[in-house]
Structure 1
Amino acid sequence: MTITTIGTAVRLRAVTRIFGTGESAVTALDAVDVEIPPATFTAVMGPSGSGKSTLLHCAAGLDRATSGEVAIDGVSLTGLSERALTKVRRERVGFVFQAFNLIPALTAEQNVGLPLRLARRRPAPGQVEQMLAEVGLADRARHRPSELSGGQQQRVAIARALVSRPAVLFADEPTGALDTTASREVLRLLRTAVDRHAQTIVMVTHDPYAAAHADRVLFLADGRVVDALDNPSGASEIAVRMARLEER
């Protein structure tokens, strides 16, 4: 199934990812074609082992496809050296993970500013402070991760991912380690980033409620995109689609 739109922030063409060789080879992605438009929120769902995390890793340049082409913001990742690929990720991509991945020794403010320092870019006056304010943590700037709740740590991670205004933000189960209240706040922030700042977001999730915040939901099974749902009406509609996949 090919998902196509006019204008793309992320493009996968015939992307296949195989792990292992010979009889032990496993095809995690099987000739996947996906195009994701800018300024949209896309959720990726599927049963365990469907290939959704592999799709995200290949799309974000964290893993190389065995074959096919991946492009981010018009830049093809195919054939890039590791150094060039790192540069693309640093300049065009933001990441949010389930485990937060904050640096324990750094304050919230320092964690948020880290991508700019790594890219050797001087933050604009107030840039880091503004990002913390946008995620509701202006008063926690000097706190270290151990002094923050899980939800607050994830909000710092979102601020860190967005501070450089990446072309695409990839989120891998961003609410997976959070309680209901913190999850809703994180999802609200992601949705706001799309609506207010025209951010492109691609999120892997197992949660229909989380996916309901997206503009489009892609459903994977056996390494292929087998269904898509535009403008979902709610979690129940998504859950029904997921149930059908799991009955396959």
Structure 2
Amino acid sequence: MTTTAVRMRSLRRDYGAVAALDGVDLDLAAGTFTAVMGPSGSGKSTLLQCAAGLDRPTSGTVAVDGVELAGLSERRLTLLRRERIGFVFQSFNLLPSLTAAQNVALPLRLARRRPARGAVREALDRVGLGDRAGHRPSQLSGGQQQRVALARALITRPAVLFGDEPTGALDTTTSREVLSLLRELVDREGQTTVMVTHDPVAASYADRVVFLVDGRVSGELAGPSAEAVAARMAGLERVTC
């Protein structure tokens, strides 16, 4: 039976008089890859940040891996993010003075946990960089740096991996390599993944694309092709112009 990894109900996030999210109801199934798309200002990144516990909604509820976020103190929310949530940004956010292995181990170090023997190398192996453990970011390509960031997000074995334009800073070839890796993690390991993207080709790697317009869900596509996603986005952008 399919379980729900992320559950959002009546989710609203206001910034002053502007509603970035306006009553979102959305379930994200465990073991699936979901892409979130929409015109500029549609609330995509806000949705991701609220779902990942990085921002608190004005009203409504979010549950991740069965845990309601609204009732958690800041300390408990921080612990949940460290242990059950992974996040990959467009910018790699690696510390330049640390090696790949040290960057991957950083979340555990910050939580004052000693990495299990071989855990860091295993995380790097999962993203195809086991032989780059001793390299610093300046010695790695952009795609390799994003793979290190991905390994860092995966080191805690999160229930959900969130990505905010994770391939936005990469060239086309490297972007496809990272997307193929994300797809493989879902297929091989059942890693629940949620990604905001503006790229129809990137979205085509997902099982499902959810479209937002003006902070509201405006339809979805299952088993999407890049062409179908591009056509839907073109229609949404005409409506919002």
Q: Quick check: 167-176 or 117-126, which moved more?
A: 117-126
CA distance in 1 between counterparts of 2:238 and 2:26 reads 24
**Secondary structure, aligned partner of 2:4:** coil
Structure-to-structure mapping, 1:149-160, within 5 angstroms: 149-160=141-152
Q: Which runs of 4+ in 1 moved over 4 A?
A: none
**Does the 8 Å CA contact 2:90/2:166 hold for their aligned counterparts?**
yes
Q: Deviations over 1:203-241 (max 9, x none)?
A: 000000000000000000000001111111x20111011
Counterpart of 1:247 in structure 2 is 238
**Does the 8 Å CA contact 1:9/1:72 hold for their aligned counterparts?**
yes
Q: Deviations over 1:156-191 (max 9, x none)?
A: 001111111100000000000000111011101111
CA distance in 1 between counterparts of 2:29 and 2:131 reads 35
5+ unaligned residues in a row in structure 1: which ranges? none
Does 1:191 find its partner at 2:183?
yes
CA distance in 1 between counterparts of 2:110 and 2:126 reads 22
Deviation at 1:6, TM superposition (A): 5.0
**Does the 8 Å CA contact 2:92/2:149 hold for their aligned counterparts?**
yes
**Does the 8 Å CA contact 2:82/2:156 hold for their aligned counterparts?**
no
**Does the 8 Å CA contact 2:203/2:229 hold for their aligned counterparts?**
yes
CA distance in 1 between counterparts of 2:113 and 2:72 reads 23
Deviation at 1:80, TM superposition (A): 1.7
**Secondary structure, aligned partner of 1:152:** helix
Does 1:11 find its partner at 2:7?
yes
Instruction: Choose the corresponding residue for 2:20, options 18, 28, 37.
Output: 28
**Does the 8 Å CA contact 2:2/2:30 hold for their aligned counterparts?**
no
Deviation at 1:136, TM superposition (A): 1.7
Alignment root-mean-square deviation, CA: 1.2
TM-score, scaled to structure 2: 0.96
Deviation at 1:118, TM superposition (A): 2.2
Structure-to-structure mapping, 1:72-221, within 5 angstroms: 72-221=64-213
Deviation at 1:51, TM superposition (A): 0.4
Amino acid at match of 2:173: T
Amino acid at match of 1:188: S
Amino acid at match of 1:116: L
**Secondary structure, aligned partner of 2:62:** strand
**Does the 8 Å CA contact 1:135/1:159 hold for their aligned counterparts?**
yes
CA distance in 1 between counterparts of 2:105 and 2:180 reads 22
CA distance in 2 between counterparts of 1:61 and 1:139 reads 33
Amino acid at match of 1:59: A
CA distance in 2 between counterparts of 1:165 and 1:6 reads 19
Does 1:228 find its partner at 2:220?
yes
Counterpart of 2:31 in structure 1 is 39
Deviation at 1:7, TM superposition (A): 2.1
